[in-house]
Chain A
Amino acid sequence: MQFNRQSNRLLRHTSCVVVLALVLITTACYRPNAGMVEILHVSYDPTREFFQEYNAVFAQYWRDTHEQQLTVLQSHGGSGKQARSVMEGLEAHVVSLALAYDIDAIAERTQLVPEDWQSRLPHNSAPFTSTIVFLVRQGNPKEIHDWDDLVQDDVQVITPNPKTSGGARWNYLAVWGYALSRELNGLALPEAASEDMIAAADKAAYAFVKRLFQNVPLLDSGARAATTTFAQRGIGDVLITWENEAFLALDKLARYNLELVAPSVSILAEPTVTWIDAVTTRRGTTDLARAYLERLYMPEGQRLAARHYFRPRLPEYADAVDLNRLSDVELFTIADMFGSWEAAHEQHFTDGGSFDRIYLENMREGGS
């Protein structure tokens, strides 16, 4: 009996201690900082180098104009994963993601940003753009110059998995868009063509993309993993990648002697930015967050974007040296070829979408 009571007491005490410990750890680490401003910028992978520099410049500007010490915390990761984190409570004051679709998802599923977020800033809230190009090995041994060269029998193509990588979705849509525009004789808008023509072109595009994916030996889960596979492991003859990522790889992976090849036609990739109203209102940082994003459109922001191999919206602010590096590519937008991100996603990347069908068919036909 006595033992029973004792053990009960002990039990109570230990469980109290455990609960207390858990409560303590949950509260101990959160303390807001007064006297200084801190904002969290949640971004996707390829922007690290650019924002690192931009943050310093903006913090200087903010100190000069508002006499406040600003710290911009950065979080980088896959675009979709970052969007999910923000939805679930990662306290982002501003976000910049690879696809508008990811911010749309935040707006659609939560009250964090208004539905019309994309019209709050100029140029579809994309202060800079990029496009999809190729990286090949030194001397371009397989003579790859345009999309058609990627469906040759002896060419291996490296591109990440569009199911897990936002960047890879741009790659996929670039291929598809190219095939469509070829079928529609140049950059004809789908709206301008007749229903039958579009259906036929879509079918041809499907066949083209399917053929291309027969040349894809593996699908890395992220864009930079794919670049590493191509450069370091020496697998594949051509890597499909963002233009700014290609330049960065040429620079950082110089020892692998890669070369950039721009196709004749490609997609205009528009990474978008916005501020998260729910957070900035609560923390009183709306003006700051807004200014942070608006200054991306100002000369300094545009110049830095160009220096980091993005395509500035306002080229007049960028250095000529930076602009001259960019290839002359005919660009189509998501709206031109797919209507909207929503539609593109629905057609290609949902379960049972074109990507899934292509893999099932290639598998059945015994394609490698």
Chain B
Amino acid sequence: MDLMNTVLPYLLSGVSVGGQYALIAIGYTMVYGILRLINFAHGDVFMVAGLMMVYLSASMPLYLAAPLMVIFTVLLGFVIERVAYKPLRTAPRMSVMISAIGVSYLLQNLALYITGGLNKNYPAIPWISDQITVFGAPTKRVTLITPFLTVALVIVLVWLINHTKVGMAMRAVSRDFETAQLMGIRINNVISITFVIGSFLAAVGSMLYFSNYPGVVPTSGGMPGLKAFVAAVFGGIGSIPGAVVGAFIIGICENIIKGLDIILKSVGVLREPLELATFSDAFTFVLLIVILVFKPTGLFGEKTTDKV
């Protein structure tokens, strides 16, 4: 009973954060599936989405600001691909990865310039930012909504990929880039659509994520971005359900670790706090290294072999 009461808040926020990571992770996993590129800038796109919401909502009502923000974020994702990745399509993979890091650096510095490095308060979105109580634990409504919304979006996305022409093209491209091109699939369109979907989900994710946090700073995108990427690797990069499962696992584990001192103390395992919360971020990466070493293809990934 006591244990349940201590664990529940962490579990709840874990599920919620997991859902938000999932929305970002899909962007990573889809881009990787098609371009074999870790889009390091994706986390920063997510941060920029948060900032845009802050600035847009200051000058217009929310019901206008939110859709506009989503549109701008999608545009940003599209432009980044066209400007920074498309010219490097035939370049070695390392160059594209470096370009992605460069974009990330640029977006962060741009954000730093515009915000002056100050914390920008995220607007309270009515209804979803309201306080509610779940099983006696106080939380925001967004915590409850996130997992459902995430799962709903993922179902729609998976349906799109399996049942539409664009989806079929995406699957073809991710299976074999060159052959797909020879078969008359417009690679550039497919890639752009991938970035558009990824950015759209990141925009939605940012709305949910930042509603839970006090504000947005230029480095806000880094950590969630990295973790979402780890989630994508954990689930098996290229696999959308994998990314979602991975994201939930990571979100939950991370939040449990945040409260591990208190939880262990309430069970009586620990006498004094061990300050384990420091490792809530690090845990994700330990998990990453472990999974990469023991099952490099992740939970749902496909095995590939090199030809000599």
| A and B are interacting partners | no
